[in-house]
Amino acid sequence: MKLAVLGCGRWGSFHLWYGDRLGFRTMGWEPSEEPVMASLMRNRGNGYLKLPEGVGLTLSLDEALEGADLVVASCPAQSFRGLAGLLSGRDLSGSDLSLCMKGIEEATGKRLSEVCREAGVRPRSVCAWVGPGHPQEFVKGVPGCMIMASEDESAAERLSRSVNSGLLRMYHSRDIIGCEIGAAAKNVVGIAAGMLDGRGMAGLKGALMARGPQEFARLVSAAGGDWRSVYGLSHLGDYEATLFSPWSRNRAWGEAFVRGGVAPGLAEGVPTCGALLKLAGVHGVELPITEAVFGVISGTAGFDEAVESLFGRPMKEEFPETLR
């Protein structure tokens, strides 16, 4: 089996490492202008891992895609439309495409599988590979669980089985809508958790965790997905890795932001705030947590004001209506 990984950053390099561990022929690609690729080619590793000798690296997209059974897209979510444009028109009928990004397009509020379809990319199947975990832990042998979601249930099951191992226990789902929205939304909750950490209010993270899934379950349901997916690995199952882990970029970004600093690395939850609000507007769903985080980031609301808007509401019964 040949695995092509498009995007060789933190997660992309992990997929190269993991594909080699599974015994796949692996090839990684990045555009020639990306400094991350030059460094990876020169050092055969990065701050997260060392690539095995059998892993190939190329600047030629055609070389990476040639004969690939599974193509993993692992670029920043907001760059995916550009990558999809490069894939459009290429014959991917013999390849499954797995989207390994957790985000929604900021400009349109569309899920990445929708972007893929709009761009005219036509693989054998399209899946979202999401769930909790950090490459830093996986390469040390710390096991975890993830999920493969696709409208094509047989493809989700086949792909989850092909990449399942003792290190990564894979589950599958036919609810790609719920899994894509849930995976993107957990990053916004991660930023909120980091903001609470940064202001010494970590005691409110429990309430944040209780309210987040209900908020996004309503959005998933309105968008045509299965609200139960939000309570699975794509969203709630990823809370520990996103709201508490020292490796969480979104949590670290939120903490640094309210302290007046800058956290290193990409925080997908930042553009996802605006994207979720666009999506929610289409479906007439309120997202109080997302609105509060967006207000603080954009400067239209202060941190104390945002906290008051979330936690200072009139008291009410905990479960008066679940998804209405």
Distance of CA 120 to the CA centre of its chain: 22
Cα separation, 109 vs 230, in Å, equals: 18
- The neighbour count for residue 95, using CB atoms within 10 Å, is 20
Q: SS3 for 99-118, per residue?
A: ECCCCECCCCCCEHHHHHHH
Cα separation, 20 vs 202, in Å, equals: 40
Cα separation, 289 vs 73, in Å, equals: 29
Query: Distance between terminal CA atoms of the chain?
Result: 46
186 as an active site residue: the answer is: yes
Q: SS3 for 275-304, per residue?
A: HHHHHHHHHCCCCHHHHHHHHHHHCCCCHH
Q: Tell me the two tokens of residue 152.
A: 């094509």
Q: Which of 216, 219, 244 is nearest to 231 (CA)?
A: 216
Q: Which of 98, 292, 80, 51 is nearest to 191 (CA)?
A: 292
Residues near 136 by Cβ (< 8 Å), separated by ≥ 6? 48, 247
**Residue 171 DSSP SS3:** strand
**Are 108 and 271 within 8 A, CB to CB?**
no
In degrees, to the nearest 5, what angle opens at C-alpha 117 toward C-alphas 111 and 121? 125
**Are 211 and 291 within 8 A, CB to CB?**
no
Instruction: Catalytic residue, from 2, 102, 110, 186: name it.
Output: 186
Q: Catalogue the active-site residues.
A: 186
